Amino acid sequence: MPSKVNWPKAIQPLLKKYKGKKHPLEYKNIYQLVVMVILSAQDSDRNINQLAPKLFETFPNMKALSQATPESLYPFISKVRNFGNKAKWLSGMAKRIMTDKNIPLSQDALTELPGIGRKSANVILREADSKPEGVIVDLHVVRVAPRLGLAEGTDPKKIEKQIMDILPQKDWDAGMAMSFLGREICRPKPKCEICLMNKVCSYYQKIKKSKTKS
C-alpha cells in the first residue's frame, strides 16, 4: 500500500487543513513555550495549561527562572509527571541561557539543553516559525503515521526518519498535522468515515476490504 501512494501529493489536504494552527499548549512567548514543552513530556497539554499561569506569575522570564532552585519550583509543578527531574532541567536550562533573547532556535542547540529531545525541539522550532529541521513525532503521530502507511514501527526516531525520507522539507509540518488529526479524528478508536485521508489510508483500505469479504 505505501509504495502505491504519492505521499508528497497525498499529504497536501492534511497540511492545508492544519496550516498555521497553533500548538495546543497555551503559551504567550518563546520562553513560556520552551518551559511548557519541557513540562509536557509524558503529561497532558491540558494539565500544563492549567498550572502554567501561576508558574509564570512568579517566574515571568528566563532571568527570573535562572535564579530558581529546583526546590523552589516544586510548589508550581508538583502535579506534573516526573516533576523532580523537570524542576532540575528547568533550573539548569535557565542558568545556561540566562535571558529570553539567548533562547537558541536550532535543533542541535535546543537538544543540548536539559529536558529537550528531538520532538520538543521540533515543536519549539515550528511555533517560532523557524525552518523545520525535523518532523514532530508525538504519541499521536506514532499511531497515525503507521495507520496511514506513511511509516512503520513504533520507534519515534525511526518514524521521523521515514517521514523525512518520503516528504520534502517544505512539508515536514505533516508531523504536527498528523498530531492534530490524531487528537481529533484518528483516535485510538478512529472516526475513519469522516477522515479526509481515508482515500489513501492503509488502515482504512484494509477495513473496507475486510467488510467486502465478509
pTM over 0.85: yes
Minimum mean pLDDT range among 39-53, 180-194, 200-214: 200-214
Residues 6+ apart with CB under 8 A from 114: 88, 89, 92, 93
Written out in words, the top-level CATH class of the domain with range 30-127 is mainly alpha
DSSP secondary structure letter of residue 150:
S
Domain(s) labelled CATH 1.10.1670.10 in the chain stretch across 2-20+135-213
How close are the terminal C-alpha atoms of the chain, in Å?
21
The class of domain 2-20+135-213 in CATH terms is: mainly alpha
Q: Which residue intervals of the chain bear CATH 1.10.340.30? A: 30-127
Spatial distance between the Cα atoms of 192 and 53, rounded to a whole number of angstroms: 37
> Cα–Cα distance between 17 and 33 in angstroms, integer?
23
Question: With contact defined as beta carbons under 8 Å apart, do 102 and 62 qualify?
Answer: yes
pLDDT in tens, 76-111: 999 999 999 999 999 999 999 999 999 999 999 999
Mean pLDDT of 31-50: 97
Find the length of the chain: 214
